[in-house]
Amino acid sequence: MRLPRALTPRTVVSAHCDLPCGIYDPAQARIEAESVKAISEKYQANQDPEFRTRALIIKEQRAELVKHHLWVLWTDYFKPAHFEKYPQLHQLFNEATKLAGAAGAKGSTDPDSGVKLLEKIDEIAKIFWETKQA
Amino acid sequence: MRLPRALTPRTVVSAHCDLPCGIYDPAQARIEAESVKAISEKYQANQDPEFRTRALIIKEQRAELVKHHLWVLWTDYFKPAHFEKYPQLHQLFNEATKLAGAAGAKGSTDPDSGVKLLEKIDEIAKIFWETKQA
Amino acid sequence: MRLPRALTPRTVVSAHCDLPCGIYDPAQARIEAESVKAISEKYQANQDPEFRTRALIIKEQRAELVKHHLWVLWTDYFKPAHFEKYPQLHQLFNEATKLAGAAGAKGSTDPDSGVKLLEKIDEIAKIFWETKQA
Amino acid sequence: MRLPRALTPRTVVSAHCDLPCGIYDPAQARIEAESVKAISEKYQANQDPEFRTRALIIKEQRAELVKHHLWVLWTDYFKPAHFEKYPQLHQLFNEATKLAGAAGAKGSTDPDSGVKLLEKIDEIAKIFWETKQA
Amino acid sequence: MRLPRALTPRTVVSAHCDLPCGIYDPAQARIEAESVKAISEKYQANQDPEFRTRALIIKEQRAELVKHHLWVLWTDYFKPAHFEKYPQLHQLFNEATKLAGAAGAKGSTDPDSGVKLLEKIDEIAKIFWETKQA
Amino acid sequence: MRLPRALTPRTVVSAHCDLPCGIYDPAQARIEAESVKAISEKYQANQDPEFRTRALIIKEQRAELVKHHLWVLWTDYFKPAHFEKYPQLHQLFNEATKLAGAAGAKGSTDPDSGVKLLEKIDEIAKIFWETKQA
């Protein structure tokens, strides 16, 4: 599923510091997840052992960033009222961060693990933008 | 509430990498939270503006580490079966990480915000050690 | 000037690792710059010295991230052919990163320094998306 | 040798920032060293090249953290009076950090290098807790 | 060849923070680039797969530091007047940072990629010291 | 005083990774210490509270880097034979890193604390270069 970003409010760009600055955007996690997927694709298309080792080193870092950006959204952006309205939200975030970890995109070089991660992030992003419009 | 660590299995020391190495320990978050509390106490006891600025800089870092260590436990250690058995676990982690953030220990220099954070970590630690003994 | 993102190809989301994964997106720098601007606004609206110190700590970090994301685009995404076609590009990046530094958003709490930074990033983003469509 | 933690004062949990907050705990180094050992064990038990590369990436990070936590204790916690009372302390720390480096746990995947590191950390921890009780 | 540093004036060395402190020195980038070259040499001389993986992990980090130190010089030290006087400076920095990246020292284990990087850094250093003497 | 670097041999500079690459150079610690001293000087010359807070934030980071670079030399470069030949070396490093910490350059804005730190680093550097020439 593609995130219908064209439909979301554009004025609010978006992210994440814990001042908080009030700026959040799931795009931060999504960009890193796109990177994770692309790395796995390049890994599969390249047999050179040095390239493959570099790919694993970098995929590890980008996947860690996915986790971090998602954790920030979960803890810093979403409030008790959101969790009441979207009772599945805790589990969604837990599954998404697990999909970025050892059992998912970190532990696999199958581009499909990147796809699954992106889909889960898109589910979160959909809810995120609903709450911004509320 | 003090964590009755003397009662927990000692052989398993404990932490947290996403290989995963299988080693986890809530002590990592707790140590940083103790630091956060101690920093606030020293802040209150010292009027020197340079000291106070340094205290705020460092408290920000230690509180961020509390959040990180808790997020790792939540995503990497705890499994679906645990969340089923302890349905309050998602909310506990969400509250604990919020208590380490802007609305809690980061945004306040009241040592009591450190105490509240430690208590919440202890609730999590209690469940953690129960699952290790299971 | 607002970035007409609705007009840019949506399938390519985008960023930045040095494998390279081939995914780049000026949004990464822009999000951090939005944060920098928002922090300055909150700084101006709040006289509390603890809050203000925290704002300066965090602004420093987000501005550093702006610089980093821009440097990555400049070195890793843009190729000699781009610099030939857009001879102003080197200077644009140099000015943009300076606007994020001591003489700009790091050294000032005037939200206008954030605005100027955002405008410069948008100039870069415009060129970036033109090269992606080429 | 196992650290007889049950015998150490529990009220002082403990770590390490350079405010200083006054909270220190050798457990921080020990937890990372346990991780290093566990990673080597998993490495030996798994022939998958991707898994092995990930293990090496992560072991490098955890071993670096061991070094860091030990350095902090050596510089920030221990005072001239301690070094007078325990003249072997400098060498102990130097050996322990070397055991975490290229000539030890970083450069080897033999779990025994992790064991040796843990034993050295325990020697340091024994002295640490003696000084806390003094 | 041994560096007879004992013969060089010790009092003023130099670097780079974005206060700015006014202290800059291309030696920071050069030292990391020397490391990058040495790692490639050791890589070529050692067939052990574990050693080689560690070499790739560490080379990635040192090459990233080369890029960072160069970016800092380019943005923070050099001023518009310098770029006017040395019109080739933008391109020199762009090429140097590219030589430290995927198309250069990161993506290759040929020590010659380290040599090329060092030569480019030396071109920059020459200009740097000319501007300091001006 | 201007550093006549143009007169020093350019070919070999030197540093420090834990491969190990075999490249070490006390200049890394010294450059950061120069920065620490310069920051304190600028702090004393500027009453603006925002500037002063930024100075404290950045001094904290540079002083931490001094500690790190010194720790690396102590653990990774110096070998048992060196410590036998220079029995004061352990204490020198311990004092130098303490001078970079809370009781020294981190905890003070007196430029003299930077001077003391530089002097101690120079004592270490003198021994370092002696061992390189041996």
pLDDT tens-digit map of E72-86: 999 999 999 999 999
SS (H, E, C) chain F: CCCCHHHCCCCCCCCCCCCCCCCCCCHHHHHHHHHHHHHHHHHHCCCCHHHHHHHHHHHHHHHHHHHHHHHHHHHHHCCHHHHHHCCCHHHHHHHHHHHCCCCCCCCCCCHHHHHHHHHHHHHHHHHHHHHHHC
In which band, very low, low, confident or very high, does the pLDDT at F14 lie, cut at 50, 70 and 90? very low
* Mean pLDDT over the full length of chain B: 90
Least confident of C13-17, D22-26, E126-130: C13-17
Nearest CB neighbour to F25, from listed E14, E31, E122: E31
- Can the peptide bond before residue D9 be classed as cis, meaning omega within 30 degrees of 0? no
Query: E99 to chain A nearest CA, in Å?
Result: 16
Share the mean pLDDT of chain D: 90
| E8: three-class secondary structure by DSSP | coil
Number of neighbours of residue A45 by Cβ within 10 angstroms: 9
Burial classification of residue A48, based on how many CB atoms lie within 10 Å of its CB (0-12 exposed, 13-18 middle, 19 or more buried): exposed
For residues C112 and C102, what is the distance between their CA atoms, to the nearest angstrom?
15
End-to-end distance of chain E based on CA atoms, in angstroms? 31
Contacts of C62 in chain A (CB under 8 A): 17, 21
Q: How far is F67 from chain D (nearest CA, A)?
A: 9
Task: Give yes or no for a contact between F122 and F95, defined as CB atoms under 8 angstroms apart.
Answer: no
Report the pLDDT averaged over residues D78-94. Answer: 98
**Interface chains of chain B (3 or more CB pairs under 8 Å):** A, C, D, F
Of the candidates A94, A98, A106, the beta carbon closest to that of B90 is on: A94
Chains A and C touch (3+ CB pairs under 8 A): yes
Q: What value does the mean pLDDT take over residues F82-100?
A: 98
Point out the least confidently predicted range of A13-22, C61-70, E104-113: A13-22
Residue A58 structure tokens? 């970098």
| pLDDT in the model for residue C134 | 79
Distance CA F21, CA F17 (A): 6
Q: Give the pLDDT confidence score for residue F2 in this predicted structure.
A: 33
Mutate to test the interface with F, among B53, B58, B60 (most CBs of F within 10 A): B53
Please tell me the distance in Å from C76's CA to the nearest CA on chain A.
14
User: pLDDT tens digits, residue range B27-67?
Assistant: 999 999 999 999 999 999 999 999 999 999 999 999 999 99
Task: Tell me what the pLDDT averaged over chain E comes to.
Answer: 90
pLDDT at F11: 31
For residue range F113-131, list pLDDT tens digits in order.
Answer: 999 999 999 999 999 999 9
Q: Give the tens place of pLDDT for each residue, F31-89.
A: 999 999 999 999 999 999 999 999 999 999 999 999 999 999 999 999 999 999 999 99
**Mean local confidence (pLDDT), C8-20:** 55
Touching subunits of F (3+ CB pairs, under 8 Å) are B, C, D, E
Instruction: Enter the tokens of residue B24.
Output: 């986890």
Contact E76, E18 (CB under 8 A): yes
The Cα–Cα gap between E103 and E94 comes to: 12
**H or E element: which one contains A32?**
helix A27-44
C–D contact: 3+ Cβ pairs < 8 A: no
Cβ neighbors of F81 (< 8 A, separation 6 or more) are none
The per-residue pLDDT for D134 is 79
In percent, the amount of chain A with pLDDT more than 70 equals 88
The CA–CA distances, whole Å, from A28 to C97, D48, F8 equal 20, 32, 46
Contacts (Cβ under 8 Å, ≥6 apart) of B65: B29, B32
Q: Which residues of D touch A53 (CB under 8 A)?
A: 53
Mean pLDDT within D26-36? 98
Contacts with E54 from chain F: Cβ below 8 Å: 19
Q: A73 near A123, Cβ under 8 Å?
A: no
Span E59-68, pLDDT tens digits: 999 999 999 9
* C20 to chain A: closest CA residue: A39
Sorting pLDDT into bands at 50, 70 and 90, what band is C17?
A: confident
**Interchain CB contact of B109 with C (< 8 Å):** yes
Mean pLDDT of E104-133: 97
Chains that touch C (3 or more CB pairs under 8 A): A, B, E, F
CB contact, 8 Å: A58 with chain D? no
Average pLDDT of the segment spanning F4-19 = 48
d(CA E20, CA D6): 50
List all residues 6 or more positions away from F32 whose beta carbon is below 8 Å from its beta carbon: E15, F62, F63, F65, F66, F69
Enumerate residues 6+ apart whose C-beta is below 8 A from B124. B26, B29, B70, B73, B89, B92, B93, B96
pLDDT at B7: 33
Burial C100-119 (b: 16+ CB within 10 A, else e): bbbebbbbbbbbebbebbbe
The residue of C68, C94, C95 whose CB has the most chain E CBs within 10 angstroms, and thus the best one to mutate to test that interface, is C94
Give the predicted TM-score (pTM) of the model: 0.90
Give the pLDDT of residue A134. Answer: 80
Beta-carbon separation of D107 and E53 below 8 A? no
Q: Does E30 touch chain F (CB under 8 A)?
A: yes
Q: How many helices (H) and strands (E) in chain D?
A: 5, 0
Q: What contacts C125, CB < 8 A, 6 or more positions away?
A: C3, C26, C27, C30
Mean pLDDT score, C94-118:
98
Q: Give yes or no for residue E8 having a pLDDT over 80.
A: no
Percent share of chain C, pLDDT over 90: 87
The pair of three-digit structure tokens given for residue A31, joined into one six-digit string = 């960009």
Of C2, C6, C54, the CB nearest to A19: C54
Q: What sign results for the dihedral spanned by CA atoms D48, D54, D57, D63?
A: negative
Confidence of residue C7 (pLDDT cuts 50, 70, 90): very low
Distance of CA B110 to the CA centre of its chain: 17
Q: Which residues of B30-56 are buried (b: 16+ CB within 10 A; e: fewer)?
A: bbbbbbbbbbbbbbeeeeeebbbbbbb
Angle, alpha carbons E16-C118-A33 (nearest 5°): 85
Which residues in chain B have Cβ-Cβ distances shorter than 8 Å to C53? 52-53, 56-57
- The model's confidence at residue C11, banded by pLDDT at 50, 70 and 90, is very low
The pLDDT confidence band at residue D12, using thresholds 50, 70 and 90, is very low
- C16: contact with F, CB 8 A cutoff: no
Three-state secondary structure call for residue B73:
helix
Amino acid code (one letter) for F47 = Q
Residue C74 clears pLDDT 90, i.e. is over it? yes
How far CA B89 is from CA of A90, B47, B73, B74, C94, in Å, comes to 10, 40, 11, 9, 48
**pLDDT score recorded for residue D7:** 33
Q: Which residues of A touch D57 (CB under 8 A)?
A: 56-57, 60
Do A and F count as touching (3 or more CB pairs closer than 8 A)?
Answer: no
Residues of A in contact with B83 (CB under 8 A): 91, 94
Distance CA F79, CA D94 (A): 9
DSSP element (H, E) containing D99: helix D89-99
Q: What is the percentage of chain A residues whose pLDDT exceeds 90?
A: 87
Cα nearest neighbour of D71 on chain F = F71
- All residues of chain E having their beta carbon less than 8 Å from the beta carbon of residue F6 are 129
Name the amino acid, one letter, at D125: A
Cβ–Cβ < 8 Å for F67, D89: no
pLDDT band at A9 (very low <50, low <70, confident <90, very high): very low
Region B98-105: mean pLDDT is 97
> Which pLDDT belongs to residue C15?
52
ipTM of the complex: 0.89
Is there a contact between C24 and C14 (Cβ–Cβ < 8 Å)? Answer: yes
Query: What is C37-58 written as a DSSP string?
Result: HHHHHHHHT---HHHHHHHHHH
In a mutagenesis test of the B interface, which of C57, C59, C60, C62 is the best target, namely the one with the most B β-carbons within 10 Å? C57
Is the minimum CB–CB distance between A54 and chain E shorter than 8 Å?
yes
Report d(CA E55, CA A59) in Å as an integer: 17
Instruction: List Cβ neighbours of C122 (8 Å cut-off, separation of 6 or more).
Output: C1, C2, C3, C30
Q: Which of D94, C45, C57, B76 is nearest to A102 (CA)?
A: B76
What are the chain D neighbours of B30 within 8 Å (beta carbons)? 13
Report CA-CA distances (Å) from C55 to A18, B102, C114, E86.
Answer: 9, 11, 14, 38
Q: Chain A, 82-101: which have a CB under 8 Å from a chain B CB?
A: 83, 90-91, 94, 97-98, 101
